[in-house]
Amino acid sequence: MSDFRQQALDYHAFPKPGKISVELTTSAETAEDLSLAYSPGVAEPVREIAANPDDVYKYTAKGNLVAVITNGTAILGLGNLGPLASKPVMEGKALLFKRFANLDAVDIEVKHRTPEEFINTVANIADTFGGINLEDIKAPECFEIEKELKQRCNIPVFHDDQHGTAIVTAAAMINALDIQGKKIEESKIVCMGAGAAAIACMELLIKCGALREKIYMLDRKGVIHTRRDDINEYKQRFANNTDQRTLQDVICGADVFVGVSGPNVLGADDVKLMAPNPVIFACSNPDPEINPDLAHSVRDDLIMATGRSDYPNQVNNVLCFPFIFRGALDVRATDINDEMKVAAVNAIRAIAKLPVPESVLKASGYESLDFGKNYIIPKPMDPRLLKSVAGAVARAAIATGVAQIELPEDYML
């Protein structure tokens, strides 16, 4: 681990600090180039945009530019370490946007005293960008922040910790249930955790067919039930009318366990209580809710996923967010709505069922991968994600009326 720590520090420090930079897209070699790039030539697109604001997409980089914005109140699994400490994560997000979807992204870290100040700051700069990716903002403030910004901005605003996690989780979950011979609408689901990611995951699973009354959500005080008076409006949606109070109560006969909480909260004896052919997603990072080796030691009929790359079935947001924004920006969507999220779920699911290209096997370090218990979701390096997910999202945006332009016939060819 000490070697890895130093490798990570060196990666960020060399050959020069950070992971992103700005590149020029046009010539700037001659006096004529400079006269076109700046004064006096730049006045011409200024006049055009002033007369027709949509021309900003024609003459500037707005349509390919994403802002990755945070306040640093929920950095990875490290907690509230402040905006400056979040900068490596936001630069990393910008790197992923560029690497996987050729989207330019800049990181913005905001200091503020109240959520309203944060909302005002972001809303006031939003027109600079084609889309806004919110990141590492703690619950429950993140819900209100995203809601207000979606109302105030005419570009897509997407809190990836909520919806990116939910999309990838739903895609992997439905595939896992298919393999286990189960239907999502008949499955009993236990969710350990009640923060932003947990609530978004469960809401999207419901949109994909899960029944709210079959979902049992737990926070630090146990099962969220209708007789509790200490839960916020977001947890209230999952308050179950039940006498069960503990994880051990609700895990009995459960088909699915989803963990977005903390390490080692699910025991081997708990796993033994689950229904035949269970599905466990232990997504706490870096240490999951239960070690996969321990879970498999007590159940040989299990499908297991984690957030880690060193175990099969990694639930990783990079499978989704670059392509969600690519599709949304390519049709100038004003929103990323539920229909676009479900379209992304189905596109990701479908790729896992296709033969895996040799290039993906090589990049992922596998000799072979076939749809099944140890391969329920595509690998991040799969080049088919870009065309499939971005295309599905763009078409859903058009179908639901949030797109401002049509897709070209040769899109992604």
Active site residues per annotation: 38, 93
- Contact between 171 and 208 under an 8 Å Cβ cutoff? The reply is no
Residue 23 amino acid letter:
E
Residue the block writes with tokens 């763009």: 394
Q: Give the CA distances from residue 273 to residues 257, 266, 270, in Å, rounded to whole numbers and listed in that order.
A: 11, 11, 5
**Cβ-proximal residues to 24 (8 Å cutoff; 6+ apart), any chain:** none
Residues whose CB falls within 8 Å of the CB of residue 82, separated by 6 or more in sequence, listed in order:
72
Q: How far apart are the C-alpha atoms of 296 and 5, rounded to whole Å? A: 29
CA angle 306–310–316, rounded 5-degree value? 45
89 neighbors 135 (Cβ within 8 angstroms)? yes
Residues with Cβ within 8 Å of 312's Cβ and at least 6 positions away in sequence, in order, are 304, 305, 374, 375
16-27 burial, b at 16+ Cβ within 10 Å, e below that, comes to: eeebbeeeeeee
Of 300, 251, 247, 250, residue with least CA distance to 271 = 251
Q: What is the CA radius of gyration of the chain?
A: 22
Give the span between the Cα atoms of 287 and 149, in whole angstroms. Answer: 33
Beta strands in 226-325, from DSSP E residues, in sequence order = 256-259, 279-282, 303-306
Task: Fill in the amino acid letter for 211.
Answer: L
28 closest CA partner among 16, 36, 20: 36
DSSP track, 4-43: HHHHHHHHHHSSSSSS------S--SSHHHHHHHSTTTTH
**CA atoms lying within 13 Å on the CB side of residue 159:** 26
SS3 75: strand
The DSSP code sequence of 230-275 is S--HHHHTT-B--S--SHHHHHTT-SEEEE-S-TT-S-HHHHHTSP
Q: Which helix (H) or strand (E) holds 323?
A: helix 321-330
